[in-house]
Structure 1
Amino acid sequence: MAKFLPLKQAVAENLHDGDTVAFEGFTHLIPTAAAHEAIRQGFRDLTLVRMTPDLIYDQMIGMGMAKKVIFSYAGNPGVGLLRRLRDAVENNWPNAIEIEEHSHAAMANAYEAGAAGLPCAIFRGYRGAGLADVNPNIRSVVCPFTGEVLAAVPSVRPDVTFIHAQKANKKGDVLVEGIVGIQKEAVLAAKRAVVTVEEVVEDFAGLHPNVTVLPSWTVTAISVVPGGSHPSYTHGYFDRDNAAYLEWDEIAAERDRFADWMKKNVMESTPEDFERRVAHLRRARS
């Protein structure tokens, strides 16, 4: 059952060195505040899993936290490449990392298989694609009923998944609205799940039938962090901060500038500082 905890405690109790961890969000509800707290706590040897890794994985890789990344498409949305990821792959800075690249379809199916407790995902995909030539975890199986050759990849079952959401009620259920991506499956596939939310309410009312509600028994810990997905957006609360993504491309381009930014905005910061900085940026750019 979900416990309401300060973010620092929620991260410390649920993430450990060597874990396989997913900080999931698909352009929307990206758990930035949780990732920053993980960076402050200095975890190492992590296997980072994510559909579309963006700024937070660039930051975690640049801070030397990752030993491996399992992903589909890595980039700074609408801007270009992830410079810290590229530096790690090409120059082993700050350390060498292993990469396992998949298609979006493969990652989505792998999470779904993990949520179902299955060892692998089987689906139609990778026909005519070259990823299988460089990724030994992309294999094929023959359907025992039709003889069709299908793609197979290992299921994704993180030790812990972090997501951001709009609301939790006092019972510990979590409401996710808007573009959900693969967050629901990433939570259900994980041994532990930590959710940051904009607010806690007495209960949910007037819900659209297509919203996602994660019941409290699927969540380990909930932390209230308004603005916790910035610079991505939270549907119904604030818009995407496009300027921050453009700025990150310049910040991440140089190792020293990256290190200075991380020291000022993450390492010497707190979740409360994060909230104040996001609120200030939103006012300044409105």
Structure 2
Amino acid sequence: MAEFLSLQEAVSRHIKNGDTVCMEGFTHLIPFAAGHEVIRQEIRDLTLVRMTPDLIYDQMIGAGCAKKLIFSWGGNPGVGSLHRLRDAVEKGWPSKLEILEHSHAAMACAYEAGAAGLPLAVLRGYVGSDLPKVNDQIKFIECPFTGERLAAVPSIRPDVAVVHAQRADRKGNVLIEGIVGIQKEAVLAAKRSIVTVEEVVDDLNAGVNACVLPSWAISAVVVAPRGASPSYALGYYDRNNAFYKEWDGIARDREAFQSWLKDNVFNKGAAQ
């Protein structure tokens, strides 16, 4: 059952060195505040999982938190590359980063399989693709009913899932509105989960077919206003497009990145 904790306590209690951690959120509701707390606590040797690694993973990789990245697309949306990720892969700074690349479809299927408690996911993708040449986690099997050749990938069952949402009720149930990615499946697949929210309310006012994460599936709920900024939270604030453009210049240079990290993550955290 969900506990209401501070961000510092939730991360300290639930994310440990060497864990496999997924921080999901598609286009909006990206859990930046939680990622910054991981950086502040200097958690190391994480295997980071995300369908679309963007700025938050670029920051965590550049801060030395990660040893491996499992992903299906990586970049600064609408701008270009993730320069801290590239520096880690190509030059080993601040430490060497191992990468394992999948398609979006395979990762979505793997999360769904993890949420269902299954050991693997089966899909029609990858037949004729070059990804199996560089990803030894992609195998091929024969359907026992039709004889069709299908791809199989291990299910994603992370130690910790971290997502951001609009609001929680006082029992710890959480409502996600707007574009929903793979957050629900990530939380259900994980051993532990942290959900940051904009606010706590008496009634979620969830509509028909709303995406509600039940309290029993969540380890910790954290009130973190603007916890998804510079991405956006539908109904609360817009995307800070200017920052995504600025990040390209900040991330290209190691010293500029370290200065930004000190001013905007470590010093900001100390002031809170």
Q: Give the TM interval when normalised to the shorter protein.
A: over 0.9
Uncovered stretches (5+) of structure 2, i.e. residues with no partner: none
Partner of 1:95: 95
Classify the secondary structure of the residue corresponding to 1:252.
helix
Q: Aligned ranges for residues 60-79 of structure 1 at < 5 Å?
A: 60-79=60-79
Q: CA deviation at 1:210?
A: 2.7
Q: CA deviation at 1:271?
A: 8.7
Matched, 1:265 2:264: yes
Partner of 1:148: 148
Kept after mapping to 2: 8 A contact 1:47/1:68? yes
Partner of 2:162: 162
Kept after mapping to 2: 8 A contact 1:33/1:271? no
Kept after mapping to 2: 8 A contact 1:225/1:271? no
> What CA distance in whole angstroms lies between the structure 1 residues aligned with 2:210 and 2:81?
32
Residue 21 of structure 2 aligns with an amino acid whose one-letter code is V
Runs of 4+ in structure 1 displaced over 4 angstroms? none
Matched, 1:44 2:10: no
Q: CA deviation at 1:272?
A: 7.2
> What CA distance in whole angstroms lies between the structure 1 residues aligned with 2:187 and 2:136?
26
CA separation of 1:254 and 1:171: change in aligned 2, threshold 3 A: same
Partner of 2:213: 214
Superposed CA deviations along residues 56-83 of structure 1, whole A, max 9, x for unmatched, are 1001111111110000100011111100
Partner of 2:122: 122
Superposed CA deviations along residues 105-153 of structure 1, whole A, max 9, x for unmatched, are 0110110111111111101101222111111101111100000111111
> What CA distance in whole angstroms lies between the structure 1 residues aligned with 2:122 and 2:250?
40
Kept after mapping to 2: 8 A contact 1:178/1:211? no
Q: CA deviation at 1:208?
A: 2.4
Partner of 1:53: 53
> What CA distance in whole angstroms lies between the structure 2 residues aligned with 1:11 and 1:249?
28
Partner of 1:276: none
TM-score (norm 2): 0.98
Partner of 2:227: 228
Kept after mapping to 2: 8 A contact 1:22/1:48? yes
Classify the secondary structure of the residue corresponding to 1:260.
helix
Superposed CA deviations along residues 203-257 of structure 1, whole A, max 9, x for unmatched, are 122x321320011000000110110001111011111111110010110000000
Q: CA deviation at 1:269?
A: 1.7
> What CA distance in whole angstroms lies between the structure 2 residues aligned with 1:225 and 1:241?
17
> What CA distance in whole angstroms lies between the structure 1 residues aligned with 2:230 and 2:209?
25
Q: Aligned ranges for residues 182-201 of structure 1 at < 5 Å?
A: 182-201=182-201
> What CA distance in whole angstroms lies between the structure 2 residues aligned with 1:231 and 1:74?
17
Percent sequence identity is: 65
Classify the secondary structure of the residue corresponding to 1:26.
coil
Superposed CA deviations along residues 139-182 of structure 1, whole A, max 9, x for unmatched, are 11110000011111111001001100000000110000111100
> What CA distance in whole angstroms lies between the structure 1 residues aligned with 2:65 and 2:172?
30
> What CA distance in whole angstroms lies between the structure 2 residues aligned with 1:271 and 1:146?
60
Uncovered stretches (5+) of structure 1, i.e. residues with no partner: 274-286
Residue 114 of structure 2 aligns with an amino acid whose one-letter code is G
Q: CA deviation at 1:95?
A: 0.6
Matched, 1:19 2:6: no
Partner of 1:107: 107
Partner of 2:204: 204
Q: CA RMSD in A?
A: 1.0
Classify the secondary structure of the residue corresponding to 1:33.
helix
Residue 183 of structure 1 aligns with an amino acid whose one-letter code is Q
Superposed CA deviations along residues 20-70 of structure 1, whole A, max 9, x for unmatched, are 001111111000000000100000110000010000100111111111000
Residue 241 of structure 1 aligns with an amino acid whose one-letter code is N
Residue 72 of structure 2 aligns with an amino acid whose one-letter code is S
